[in-house]
Amino acid sequence: MPTYRDILTQTCELLEPYAKGRALEEGTDLLNHVGLDSIQAMEVLLAAEGRFDMSIPLNVLAEVRTVGDLAQQLQHLLERR
């Protein structure tokens, strides 16, 4: 099982194509700083699903605002698998 730090690193990698050079950190706001729109958010989820070989329920998005929130949700789902 990957650690939270591993997942955070991989989450940043997944977000990098959308960050347009902006720094990505644990507290970075996905909407206001990365500027993800709804379609891009879905693309990121699809990429994460492929990388971790799991389905991500849309319900978890309600709890996600920052890069760290997303990594945490991914960790919960990986643990539950």
Partner 1 sequence: MLDNLRAIAAARQALLNEDGVSPFGTVVEKVISTTEGILDGRRTILAGTNNYLGLTFDPVCIEAACTALRNEGTGTTGSRMANGTFAAHTALERELAAFFGRRDAMVFSTGYIANLGMLSALTGRDDVILIDADCHASIYDGCRLGTAEVIRFRHNNPEDLDIRLRRLGERTARTLIVVEGIYSMLGDRAPLAAIAALKRRYGAWLLVDEAHSFGVLGAHGRGLAEEAGVEDAVDFVVGTFSKSLGTIGGFSASDHPELDSLRYASRPYLFTASPSPSIVASARAALGLLQGRPELRKRLWENAHGLYERLRDLGFALGPEPSPIVAVMMATPEEGLACWRALLAQGVYVNLIVPPAAPNGGSLLRCSVGAAHTPEQIERIAGAFATLPRV
Binding footprint of partner 1 on the chain (CB under 8 A): 37-39, 42, 46, 53-59
Contact 10, 16 (CB under 8 A): no
- Which position has the token pair 């977000």? 15
Residue 6 CB, nearest distance to partner 1 (Å)? Answer: 21
How far apart are CB 46 and partner 1 at their closest, in Å?
Answer: 7
Three-state DSSP state, 22: coil
Residue 59: CB minimum distance to partner 1, A:
6
- Considering the complex, state which of residue 19 and residue 54 has its C-beta at the smaller distance from partner 1: 54
Cβ atoms of 70 and 11 closer than 8 Å: yes
